[in-house]
Amino acid sequence: MHNISEIKSLLAEPKQILITTHRNPDGDAIGSSLGLLHYLNKLGHTTQIVAPSEYPDFLAWLKGAEDIIIYDNDPGATETAVKAADIIFCLDFNSLDRIDKVGDLVRKRDCTKIMIDHHLYPDDFAHYTLSDTTASSTSEMVFDFVEALGDKDLIDKVVGECVFTGILTDTGSFKYSTSPKLFRIVSELLALGVDDYKLQDQIFNSMTEKQLRLLGHCLDNRMEILEEYKTGIITLTKEDYANFDIQRGDTEGIVNQLLKIKNVQMAAFITEQPTIVKISLRSKGDFSVQQIAQKHFKGGGHKNAAGGASFQGLKATVRKFKELLPNYKDQLAR
């Protein structure tokens, strides 16, 4: 990582450090942020994490999660925290519009900003942009970052559990974006006492009955398979949101189910939110959903996992998505 010696000298004296991460934070957003926070605390810094919106319940057990300031719940405290920072770390996102109004607060500050992120095409808003699009997760990058600073001995079980959580969720339990290096890191985390079985259980076997029934509803009533385009679509209407009392986090992982069908190369999960229609995309192999999200839905992400939004209604968005498919038929056929 370049600039690491400059960052090391910035961190040589105790500072007020803010860590921020993307809206609808997932395991990697929260895991990488908390992993970095516990490390920075060991260096003697004062630290605070802010997130634009709530994190899902299955992450609440992580040490320090309860101290995260959520903009949606407390905009005043968020503003105070952003204003107080000497250094702002931006984790697991590549453009300030991914953190909503927190982005406006961060943009206004002229303090040192450091991005650590693994998404494609990072914006150039930070003083230091640590971007590794080959990394499985930002959590893996936090491990690399601490190691590059020469502080690997400060990675303990607590930091390890945070980092392991992000790796686990972003790789779908070691299914995607793995590498020999990743397994080397994970092996070191287990040696520190991280209990992989316990964490897998806490993170993945934590659904509520309602969430599992909602998945059943999606597969039974809301799934469409377009064989010609090797594409699967699941949609959820406003009525579904009301009938199932769907809260943030309840739809986590539904889109991935479509990829379990042998010939499905691309999966789309299209949901009617209060003001927008949200589109979540996944793919197998070389087909890039990042290009579709960026080109047609004002979004982005990774080759195999991306998302975006539409301001047309649900039906019009689904129609638009289907109308795109003939353009990608050749790529999907491979």
Closest CA to 49 of 10, 12, 22: 22
Q: Name the binder of 28 from Mn ion, ligand 5GP, none, CB < 5-8 A by kind.
A: Mn ion
3-state secondary structure of 310: strand
Contact call for residue 280 and ligand 5GP (CB under 6 A): yes
Biggest CA–CA distance in the chain, Å, is 60
Restricting to residues 165-224, which ones interact with ligand 5GP according to CB under 6 A?
none
Choice from 88, 141, 158, 306 touching ligand 5GP (CB under 6 A): 306
Q: Which token pair is 113?
A: 């900003």
Please, which residues have CB within 8 angstroms of residue 82's CB and are 6 or more apart in sequence? 18, 20, 50, 88, 102, 105, 106, 109
Restricting to residues 105-144, which ones interact with ligand 5GP according to CB under 6 A?
119
Contact call for residue 299 and ligand 5GP (CB under 6 A): yes
Contact call for residue 305 and ligand 5GP (CB under 6 A): yes
Contact call for residue 25 and ligand 5GP (CB under 6 A): no
> Are the CB atoms for 140 and 167 separated by under 8 Å?
yes
Contact call for residue 140 and Mn ion (CB under 5 A): no
Q: Which token pair is 142?
A: 């936090």
Cα 307 to Cα 300: distance, rounded to the nearest angstrom: 6
Q: Which token pair is 65?
A: 């999660």
CB of 181 to Mn ion, least distance (A): 16
Restricting to residues 43-102, which ones interact with ligand 5GP according to CB under 6 A?
98
Restricting to residues 43-82, which ones interact with Mn ion according to CB under 5 A?
none
CB of 76 to ligand 5GP, least distance (A): 26
Choice from 300, 310, 317, 332 touching ligand 5GP (CB under 6 A): 300
